[in-house]
Structure 1
Amino acid sequence: MSDTPELTLYHAPRTRSSGVRILLEELGAPYRLHILNLKLGDQLKPEYLAVNPLGKVPAIKHGDAVVTEQVAIYIYLADAFPDAGLAPAIGDPLRGPYLLWLAFYGSAFEPAIVDRSQQRAPDSRAMSPYGDYDAVISAVRSQLAGGPYLFGDRLTAADLLWGTALRWTTIFGLVPTTPEISAYFERIASRPSARKVGREDHELAAAQEIAAKG
């Protein structure tokens, strides 16, 4: 018997957990899916709230370790499967910038995008987690200018997070579509891993729609 701990992804199609599926495919990690139908409220049932009390996806269970929070999952998985080379190791000069851009996504980018989607003015600069929206978008564009990935030619787990996020935020008009942003997220979307997850998520979502209608 293998001593490799079982890895489970708690997943709902067309949500933030789709990006984690793409990461798992890129890592070549063996995993199983625990599918949640958000339309039926599976995420709010006691069984799942025992995994993530906030009732959000994604979440993973790796052996006895349970990890929630999107950015934490990316860090954990990329470090857990180092042979894929998607996480600069401690001591690598890129480790700091890599962690910075993962943290920046959750601490600055998403709050700025949520405020923009709700047409909500941020708190004062001293209280805001991101300062101002334009500064956040400018930082993203500047980082992508060197291309083709966040750190030049080196693909990392951070690119899989940002590539999927920038695609949906531009679709909904929350981030301006620019040549460098479009080229970046299309580069990620064209990868076999993203295409596979996209096809399978489409089928899952269709089946869940039918189930929700009874």
Structure 2
Amino acid sequence: MAKDMTLLWGSGSPPCWRVMIMLEEKQLQNCDKKLLSFDKMEHKSQEVLDINPRGQLPSFKHGNIIVNESYGACFYLESQFKNQGTKLVPDDTAQQALMYQRMFEGLTFYDKVGAVIYYEYYVPEGERLESAMKRNKETLATELKLWEGYLEKLGSGSYMAGPSFTLADVVIFPTVGNLFRFGLSAQRYPKLGAYYAQVKDRPSVQASWPPHWLENPKGDEETLKDV
């Protein structure tokens, strides 16, 4: 099955990492995965555009089926391979509802993290404002306190939607990974720090760890040190 799959991806991209983790959890490691460079603008290559006219990564194809949005790809893989690998949608109704809630809140979380981490990447130098960065950091701090509260309510050792690893963790952990890559304080946010420490050693996460993070274990730790 996995031999009919193609994933074009970029290192360190949370949307790409979501699909990478998903493939590991569903035992689809034999998927044809091709690493492309954002710096070299390979995501705008014809190879990508043939699958994804937006010129974005990830770009995912299974046979003749194309699902490029990372959440969509994760839902698709869980649906098609629900009896293979890790069961990622809980049977318990309350936990399932919480999983869906956290998954889609995760999109807002990712946007607020990205507004700080990728500000210099996306905003031209002449248009950057210290006031905008300050405001983005304040907004992110408020968001982080919200997630701290969610995890505190669930209790020690919990995942994002309860006692088991679910689709919520597949899609949210890459955002959390980027937070700590860019210097978030585990002392200031102990629940998120504990969650990161718990999930980062999961085999699917280790197997899909961004290659350039392995080459350079320390990221730009100044970015989020004061958030």
Q: Distance in 1 between matches of 2:185 and 2:110?
A: 11
1:24 deviates by 1.0
Report what 1:85 is aligned to.
87
Map 1:54-65; keep pairs closer than 5 Å.
54-65=54-65
TM-score between the two structures when normalised by the length of structure 1: 0.75
Give the alignment of 1:29-108 within 5 angstroms: 29=28, 30-83=30-83, 84-88=86-90, 92-106=93-107, 108=108
Determine the C-alpha separation between the residues in 1 that align with 2:93 and 2:168. 15
Q: Find out whether 1:192 has 2:220 as its counterpart.
A: no
Quick one: distance in 1 between partners of 2:10 and 2:215? Answer: 8
Structure-1 separation of matches of 2:39 and 2:109: 27
Q: Contact between 1:51 and 1:66, CA under 8 Å: does it hold in 2?
A: yes
Residue ranges of structure 2 left out of the alignment (5+ in a row): 120-132, 217-227
8 Å contact 1:13–1:204 — kept in the other structure? no
Q: Distance in 2 between matches of 1:32 and 1:149?
A: 30
**Residue in structure 1 matched with residue 148 of structure 2 by the alignment:** 141
Counterpart CA distance in 1 for 2:185 and 2:60 is: 29
Shift of 1:15: 2.1
Deviates more, 1:172-181 or 1:108-117: 172-181
- Distance change (3 Å), C-alpha of 1:87 and 1:5: farther
Q: 1:134 to 1:196 in 2, by over 3 A?
A: closer
Q: Percent of aligned positions with the same letter in both sequences?
A: 22
Cα pair distance change 1:203/1:32, threshold 3 Å = farther
Please state whether the residue corresponding to 1:40 is helix, strand or coil.
Answer: coil
Other structure's SS at 1:151 match: coil
- Residue 74 of structure 1 deviates from its aligned partner by 2.2
C-alpha displacement of 1:190: 0.5
1:168-209 CA-to-partner distances (Å, cap 9, x unmatched) read 1233246875221111112111112222222x8249979xxx
Provide structure 1 residue ranges, at least 5 long, that are not aligned to the other structure: 123-131, 207-214
Q: What RMSD, in angstroms, separates the aligned Cα atoms of the two structures?
A: 2.9
Q: TM-score, normalised by structure 2?
A: 0.71
Aligned length: 192
Paired with 1:71 and 1:174, the residues of 2 have a C-alpha distance of 25
CA contact (8 A) 1:164 1:188 kept: no
Judging changes above 3 Å, is the alpha-carbon distance between structure 1 residues 7 and 120 closer, same or farther for their aligned structure 2 residues?
farther
Partner of 1:161: 171
